[in-house]
Amino acid sequence: MGSRPIINVHNPATLEKVGQAVSTLPEEVPGLVEKARQAQSDWAIRPLAERTKILRQVQSALVDRADEMAELVSQETGKPFMESLATDIMNAISVADFAIGRVEHLFRESKVDLGKLSSPMRLLGRSSYLVPRPLGVIGLITPWNYPLAIPYSQAMMCLAAGNAVLIKPSSTTPLTALRMRELMEESGSPPMLVQVAIGAGTEVGEAVASSTVDRIIFTGHTEVGRRIMTLASQRLTPITLELGGKDAFIVMKDADLNRTAKAACWGSFVNCGQTCAAIKRIYVHRSILDKFTALLVKEVRSLRQGYDINDPTISVGPMISERAVLDMEVQVSRAMEQGAKVLVGGKRTEGLPGHFFEPTLLSIPTQNMDIVRQETFGPIVAIMTFDTEEEAVRMANDSAFALNGSVWTADLEQGRRLATTLKAGTVMVNNVAYTYGLGATPWGGRGESGFGRTHGDMGFEELVERQHLHVDKGKFSSEIWWPPYEKENLEAMRDFTGLIFNGKRDRLLHRLLNVRRLMRR
């Protein structure tokens, strides 16, 4: 076995070293899966009340150490302390609270409605049930932008459903995941139930995707998601993909423009725009374009960039790396070549030591530009106009991505109507990008934004298998379709099928009694 590489973690805002983590070797991943599987076999048979008690202890520990964990998140990502509390800690706690409270409902056995066959099956002493069971070990491959909210919320959903987890956090932000596991075990989580594999995605992440885990939940870049899906398919491992976004923000002419501009500013530049559900395309009714744009520009200019955990007035942190900053510079340059106009921002932030890029608004003359078509994982937002509802919907839906979207209007009926026509996993009316923290609501998209759901009942459905249990009271010695085949059985089968599915209910009881007679012979 080779030597273990050391990952040095630096704060992207200050470039100072935060700490270090020891990498997992790819060949160690199968052993981690096996350890998790052993722990899961015991966890799954524990009484539900006992599992719930332990998870509540974990929750209490995170609440008690909220500031400590938020500070670590800020150190690893450079994001403002307010954002670490609101979008990492709060979201994590909220989703886990839903999971713990909902788990009793999750494991209720349900009887299957057999439709037209219900009465015949009941007469024959037969019934079907769905019995929820944990899948086993869930592999979580998580990104750097929300190093606590994403792995914690997903892990707690998995644990509540009776599974174990193997977490592969981003190699950029491994310290938060390691501290999270420590907190879980200190709070009573069984040893080995939560495993963490540290290392590069191209090595350790791919090892997880190729392992014997029972499901993979991947959150990250679309192209990486395709690679993970390819590897998982070799073992037919089911997968949930939460990928990129290009979220649309539609401003109708009757919207409250002051509130809408504030929302657009936050939704565009939260986490320095490094959020899958951040606003990337703003569509404004032509009649209010100038007024709305002026308000939004004012909001953006008021944002303070920097890094200081003790300064609550800092609103925008850095990008995660120098490479990310260079990518923003290329995207702005390309957009200007294609006819975009910079309204505010557009360049690297001066006077700060880290990887800072200015919050940027671009006025876009046409939808068919790279800045509109391609993913932008950073603080750049394109503003365009529309004249009719139909045009707004057509432009918003003209994207390969479909994660989130929002409609802004004083007419709630109009807002709901437009929302239902938008191609996105979640559409909000008069709010933006915060429902990840509503644990009862599903999270996910379609198209280039991936498939499957986390959170809510839909998320739970991807963490259990509903085994079909069919119970026969054993009243009869044979079935009419069992050999030896006879003419009388054939006629009974023909009559039985026709009467049930052709709706001739008046003769059904008589034929059923004849079937019972044949089966008792």
**Looking at this protein, which amino acid is placed at residue 206?**
E
**pTM, entire model:** 0.94
Q: Which pLDDT score, from 0 to 100, does residue 497 have?
A: 76
Cβ atoms within 10 A of the Cβ of 488, count?
A: 12
Beta strand pairing call for 426-429 and 341-344: unpaired
Mean pLDDT score of the chain, rounded to an integer? Answer: 95
Q: Which pLDDT score, from 0 to 100, does residue 487 have?
A: 87
Least confident of 41-50, 88-97, 115-124, 305-314: 115-124
The structure tokens listed for 103 are 């788990």
C-alpha 417/C-alpha 401 separation (Å) is 21
Q: Which pLDDT score, from 0 to 100, does residue 506 have?
A: 56
476 or 90, which is more confident: 90
Mean pLDDT along residues 155-172: 98
Q: Which pLDDT score, from 0 to 100, does residue 519 have?
A: 72
The structure tokens listed for 111 are 């009887």
Rounded to 5 degrees, what are φ and ψ at 455? 75, 160
Rounded to 5 degrees, what are φ and ψ at 24? -85, 140
Angle at 403 between CA 398 and CA 404, to 5 degrees: 90
C-alpha 74/C-alpha 163 separation (Å) is 30
Least confident of 112-126, 336-350, 378-392, 427-441: 112-126
Local confidence band at 3 (pLDDT 50, 70, 90 cut-offs): confident
Q: Which pLDDT score, from 0 to 100, does residue 430 have?
A: 98
Residue positions annotated with a catalytic role = 242, 276
- Which residue pairs from 467-471 have beta carbons closer than 8 angstroms and sit at least 24 positions apart in sequence? 467/130, 467/131, 467/132, 467/133, 468/112, 468/128, 468/129, 468/130, 468/131, 469/128, 469/129, 469/130, 469/131, 470/126, 470/127, 470/128, 470/129, 471/126, 471/127, 471/128, 471/129
Give the helix/strand (H/E) hosting 128: strand 126-134
The structure tokens listed for 323 are 């490479």
Q: Which pLDDT score, from 0 to 100, does residue 510 have?
A: 65
What residues contact residue 425 under an 8 Å CB cut-off, 6+ apart?
402, 403, 404, 442, 443, 444, 445, 446, 449, 453
Domains and CATH numbers, the chain: 31-243+458-466 (3.40.605.10), 247-433 (3.40.309.10), 476-520 (no CATH)
Is 64's pLDDT higher than 80? yes
